[in-house]
C-alpha cells in the first residue's frame, strides 16, 4: 500500500493503490447456487420507502412473481426468487447500517423453481418509446447494484430531465477482495453491452463509455470480443487506472470525462449518467428475457473461507448457505463483513439474507489488531489521499469541537466515506467513523431545527386564532349589552317573568 501519484490518464486526486486480493476468488468459474430451503426477502432492499407486501401467509408463489410493490414513491418492487409457500412476514436480521432487523417475507421453497408465465416480454425494446421503457424498468425491481441500491428507474427518470452527453457503465470495482463485477463481465459480457444499448435507448443517448479497471484484463478481453460481435460503435471501452476509489460515481466521471461533479450535485450536472455493469446486465435480463432482479453474482472471499469463489445466488439466500458453497468457514474465521474491507459492514450473524446490494461476503481472520489512536500530529497525509480534496485533519478538529458551521464550510457533506484517510493516518485515528457520526449529528440538528420552526409557526398561528376568537366574543358580548340597553330594563323584566312562567321548575335562574 502506498499513496498513488496522480495518474496521467485520469485526473483523480489522491486515492490509494491497495493490494487487490481479488485473484483468490477468480480462479474458477461462477458457481450456480442451488435452490435453498428457505428464502428471506427484505421489503427494503433499496434507497427509499419500504415496499408493501401484496401476498399473504400461506399463499403459493412462483419464481419471478411480484410479492411486494412500491406505493408510488421512491422505491423498488420485490419479486419471489423461487417458487414456494409464504410462511412468514416478520422482522429478520439484515445487513443494514440502521437497526438489526427489518420486515422480511419468508418463502419455504418447494424445489420446483416454477417460473411465472410472463405476459409481456418485450423482445424488441427499440419499438418502445423511452418513457414506457423507463416504466418497464421500474417494474423489474432493478436497483443500482454497485452498492448504493438507488432505484434505477427513478435515477434514470431524474436524469432524462437534464441535458446528457454520456452514459458511463461502471465496471471499475476498485475495492479490494470484491470480484463479482469482474466475473460478470467475463461471463456475461453480452448482457452488459445489451443493457448498455437499452439504457442508451431509454436516455436517448448515443455515447457510452464502459470503464474497466486495468487489473481486469480478462474482463476487458471478454467485453472487447462481445463488442466486436454486436458491432455497436456508440460503445467505447475505457481502461482506467487501478486506484481506490476510482469506482466512486463522481470519481469515475472525473476519470472518464475529466469533468468535476459540483459540490452537492449529481453526475447529471456535467451531462453523465453512471450505471453499474451489473445493473445494465439486470436491465437486459428483465427487458429482453422477462426475468426481474431475483438473483445476482456475489463474491464470497477472505481468509476465513475454505475456497473463495464467486456465486450466482438467488436474492434471499442466507449468508450461511452461501458460505457453505465456498467450502464453509476455516478455523481462523473471525469476522463476517458484508461488502468490502473499506466500506463494508460487519455483521454478527450469518442468518442475514443476500440482498440486491450484497456484492461481497468477506470472512476475515483477525490479522491486524486495532491500534489505539494517538493524537493527530497534523502531518497532512490524509489530505493528500482524499479523492475529493477535503482536509480530513481539519474536519477531524471541527468534529471534535462539534462545530457545525465549519464542518459544512470544509465540505464534510461531500465526504464519500471511502476510508483512505483512515488507512494512511500514522496516528491510527478512525477518521471515517468520526465523519459518519458527525454527518448523522448534522442531520439530526437539521431535523430539530425544522421541527422548531414548525412548532414556532404553529404557536404563532394559534395565538392569532385565539386572539381573533377573543375579539369576536368581546364583540358579541358588547352587541348583546347594546340590545339590552336599547329595549330597556322594564322590557327585560317582562321577558324574564314570561320565561319563568313557562318553566316553573327552573327556580334558580337569575339574571
CA distances in angstroms from 116 to 38, 89, 497, listed in the order given: 19, 21, 86
Query: Which residue among 463, 470, 480, 483 contacts another protein (CB under 8 A)?
Result: 463
Q: Does 456 bind another protein (CB under 8 A)?
A: yes
| Residue of the chain from 332, 461, 470, 483 that contacts another protein (CB under 8 A) | 461
Say whether residue 346 binds another protein (CB under 8 A). Answer: no
Nearer to another protein, 374 or 451 (CB): 451
| Whole-angstrom Cα Rg for the chain | 31
Q: Which is nearer to another protein, 464 or 495 (CB)?
A: 464
Examine residue 206 and tell whether it contacts another protein (CB under 8 A): no
Taking the complex as a whole, the smallest distance from the CB of residue 500 to another protein amounts, in Å, to 29
3 state SS of 187: helix
Q: Is residue 168 packed enough to be buried (19+ CB in 10 Å), middle (13-18) or exposed (0-12)?
A: buried
The Cα–Cα gap between 395 and 398 comes to: 5
Residues 136-195 that bind another protein (CB under 8 A): none
Smallest separation (angstroms) from another protein to the CB of 252: 37
Helix (H) / strand (E) element for 35: namely: none
Binding pattern for the stretch 398-437 against another protein, x by CB under 8 A and - elsewhere: ----------------------------------------
Q: How far is the CB of 352 from another protein (least distance, A)?
A: 24
Q: Which stretch binds another protein (CB under 8 A): 107-115, 214-222, 230-238, 452-460?
A: 452-460
Indicate whether 443 belongs to the interface with another protein (CB under 8 A).
Answer: no
Instruction: Name the residue nearer to another protein (CB basis): 346 or 461.
Output: 461
**The C-alpha cell of 141 is what?**
425491481
Closer CB to another protein, residue 451 or residue 500?
451
Binding segment (CB under 8 A) for another protein, from list 13-21, 318-326, 367-375, 458-466: 458-466
Residue bearing cell 454520456: 166
Window contacting another protein (CB under 8 A); options: 120-128, 258-266, 457-465, 476-484: 457-465
500 near another protein, rule: CB under 8 A: no
Angle at 301 between CA 41 and CA 170, to 5 degrees: 70
Q: Using CA atoms, how far apart are residues 338 and 371, in angstroms rounded to an integer? A: 23
**Sole window of 149-157, 205-213, 461-469, 496-504 interacting with another protein (rule: CB under 8 A):** 461-469
Q: Does 459 bind another protein (CB under 8 A)?
A: yes
In this structure, what are the phi and psi dihedrals at residue 322, rounded to the nearest 5 degrees?
-70, -40
User: Is 462 an interacting residue with respect to another protein (CB under 8 A)?
Assistant: yes
Q: Let me know: does 380 contact 393? Beta carbons within 8 Å.
A: yes
Task: Report, in Å, the least distance between residue 99 CB and another protein.
Answer: 12
In sequence order, what are the residues at sequence separation of 6 or more whose Cβ sits closer than 8 angstroms to the Cβ of residue 394?
Answer: 406, 410
| Minimum gap (Å) between residue 345 Cβ and another protein | 21
Beta pairing, strands 235-240 & 16-17 = unpaired
Closest to 332 measured CA to CA, from 300, 305, 360, 301: 305
What's the closest the beta carbon of residue 365 comes to another protein, in angstroms?
37
Query: What is the Cα 280 distance to its own chain's centre?
Result: 17
Beta carbon of residue 457, minimum distance to another protein (angstroms, whole number)? 9
Under 8 Å between Cβ of 304 and 365: yes
Of 57, 66, 67, 116, the closest CA to residue 87 belongs to: 57
All residues at 6 or more sequence positions from 112 whose CB lies less than 8 Å from its CB, including other chains: 83
Instruction: Identify which of residues 85 and 441 has a Cβ nearer to another protein in the complex.
Output: 441
Q: Which of 44, 340, 30 is nearest to 185 (CA)?
A: 30
Q: Of the two residues 234 and 454, which places its CB atom closer to another protein in the complex?
A: 454
Q: Minimum distance between the CB of residue 143 and another protein, rounded to whole angstroms?
A: 28
Number of residues forming the site for another protein (CB under 8 A): 13
Of the candidates 458, 472, 473, 493, which one interacts with another protein according to CB under 8 A? 458
CB of 455 to another protein, least distance (A): 4
Nearer to another protein, 458 or 485 (CB): 458
CA–CA distance, 357 with 354 (Å, rounded to integer): 8
Check if the beta carbon of residue 280 is closer than 8 Å to that of residue 199: yes
Q: Does 468 bind another protein (CB under 8 A)?
A: no
Q: How many Å apart are CA 425 and CA 293, to the nearest integer?
A: 40
Q: Pick from 345, 408, 453, 485: which binds another protein (CB under 8 A)? A: 453
| Residue 472 touches another protein, criterion: CB under 8 A | no
Full strand arrangement of the beta sheet holding 52-53 = 52-53, 66-69, 78-79
> Interface residues with another protein (CB under 8 A)?
451-456, 458-463, 465
Amino acid at each position: 500500500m502506498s499513496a498513488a501519484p496522480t495518474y496521467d490518464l485520469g485526473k483523480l486526486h489522491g486515492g490509494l493503490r491497495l493490494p487487490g486480493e481479488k485473484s483468490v476468488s477468480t480462479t474458477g468459474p461462477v458457481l450456480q447456487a442451488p435452490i435453498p430451503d428457505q428464502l428471506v426477502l427484505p421489503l427494503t432492499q433499496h434507497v427509499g420507502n419500504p415496499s408493501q407486501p401484496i401476498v399473504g401467509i400461506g399463499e403459493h408463489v412462483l419464481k419471478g412473481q411480484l410479492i411486494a410493490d412500491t406505493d408510488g414513491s421512491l422505491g423498488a418492487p420485490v419479486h419471489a426468487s423461487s417458487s414456494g409457500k409464504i410462511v412468514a412476514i416478520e422482522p429478520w436480521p439484515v445487513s443494514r447500517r440502521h437497526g438489526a432487523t427489518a420486515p422480511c417475507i419468508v418463502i419455504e421453497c418447494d424445489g420446483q423453481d416454477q417460473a411465472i408465465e410472463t405476459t409481456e416480454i418485450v423482445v424488441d425494446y427499440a419499438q418502445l418509446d423511452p418513457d414506457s421503457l423507463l416504466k418497464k424498468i421500474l417494474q423489474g425491481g432493478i436497483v443500482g447494484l454497485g452498492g448504493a441500491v438507488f432505484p434505477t428507474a427513478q435515477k434514470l427518470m431524474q436524469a432524462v430531465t437534464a441535458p446528457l452527453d454520456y452514459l458511463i457503465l461502471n465496471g471499475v470495482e476498485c475495492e479490494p477482495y470484491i470480484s463479482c463485477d469482474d466475473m460478470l463481465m467475463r461471463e456475461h459480457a453480452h448482457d452488459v453491452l445489451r443493457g448498455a444499448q437499452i439504457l442508451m435507448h431509454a436516455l436517448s443517448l448515443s455515447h457510452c463509455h464502459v470503464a474497466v479497471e486495468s487489473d481486469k484484463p480478462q474482463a476487458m478481453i471478454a467485453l472487447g470480443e462481445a463488442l466486436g460481435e454486436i458491432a455497436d460503435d456508440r460503445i467505447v471501452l475505457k481502461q482506467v487506472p487501478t486506484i481506490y476509489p476510482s469506482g466512486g460515481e463522481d470519481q469515475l466521471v472525473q476519470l472518464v470525462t475529466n469533468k468535476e461533479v459540483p459540490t452537492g450535485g449529481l453526475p447529471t450536472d456535467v451531462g453523465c449518467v453512471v450505471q453499474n455493469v451489473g445493473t445494465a446486465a439486470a436491465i437486459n435480463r428483465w427487458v429482453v428475457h422477462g426475468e426481474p432482479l431475483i438473483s445476482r453474482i456475489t463474491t464470497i472471499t477472505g481468509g476465513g473461507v475454505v475456497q473463495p469463489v464467486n456465486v450466482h445466488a438467488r436474492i434471499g439466500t442466507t449468508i450461511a448457505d452461501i458460505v457453505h458453497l465456498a467450502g464453509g468457514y476455516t478455523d481462523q474465521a473471525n469476522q463476517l463483513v458484508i461488502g468490502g474491507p473499506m466500506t463494508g459492514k460487519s455483521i454478527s450473524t450469518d442468518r442475514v439474507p443476500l440482498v440486491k446490494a450484497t456484492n461481497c461476503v468477506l470472512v476475515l481472520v483477525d490479522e491486524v489488531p486495532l491500534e489505539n489512536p494517538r493524537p493527530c500530529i497534523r502531518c497532512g497525509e490524509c489530505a493528500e489521499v482524499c479523492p475529493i480534496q477535503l482536509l480530513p485533519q481539519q474536519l477531524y478538529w471541527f468534529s471534535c469541537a462539534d462545530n457545525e458551521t465549519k464542518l459544512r464550510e470544509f465540505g464534510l457533506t461531500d465526504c464519500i466515506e471511502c476510508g483512505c484517510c483512515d488507512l494512511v493516518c500514522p496516528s491510527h485515528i478512525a477518521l471515517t467513523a468520526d465523519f459518519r457520526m458527525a454527518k448523522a449529528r448534522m442531520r439530526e440538528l437539521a431535523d430539530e431545527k425544522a421541527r422548531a420552526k414548525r412548532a414556532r409557526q404553529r404557536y404563532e398561528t394559534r395565538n392569532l386564532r385565539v386572539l381573533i376568537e377573543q375579539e369576536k366574543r368581546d364583540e358579541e358580548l358588547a352587541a348583546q349589552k347594546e340590545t339590552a340597553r336599547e329595549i330597556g330594563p322594564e322590557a327585560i323584566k317582562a321577558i324574564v317573568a314570561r320565561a319563568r312562567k313557562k318553566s316553573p321548575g327552573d327556580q334558580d335562574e337569575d339574571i
